[in-house]
Amino acid sequence: MSKKYKVISLFSGAMGLDVGLESTGRFQVIACVEKEPAFCETIRKNLKGGRLYKNLLLYEQDINDLTPREVLDDLKIDIGDIDLLVGAPPC
């Protein structure tokens, strides 16, 4: 099995981009940040449906209230362990 690249998703929305990345079998979205409750509910449904990494860490909050160090500490990883940071401008 080839390496899965670790991804953090910002402004995740309903995670269409992230589900697409996961579906390639090469990426693993390990954390996401989204503040809109309806989008977070969709994320939880995709998680429950097995379309996302089972240990996905969902930050349901404004990104301004979150520090990179907090995310890395929660994930128990270092900055060099992230392969891809993705995000989309808020709709």
Known catalytic membership, residue 32:
no
The b-or-e profile of 13-44 (16+ CB within 10 A means b, else e) is bbbebbeebbeeeebbbbbbbbbbeebbebbe
For residue 67, which amino acid is it?
A: T
Q: How far apart are CA 77 and CA 69, in angstroms?
A: 10
Cβ-based neighbour number of residue 9 at 10 Å: 26
37, 76, 80, 91: the catalytic one is 91
Active site residues per annotation = 91
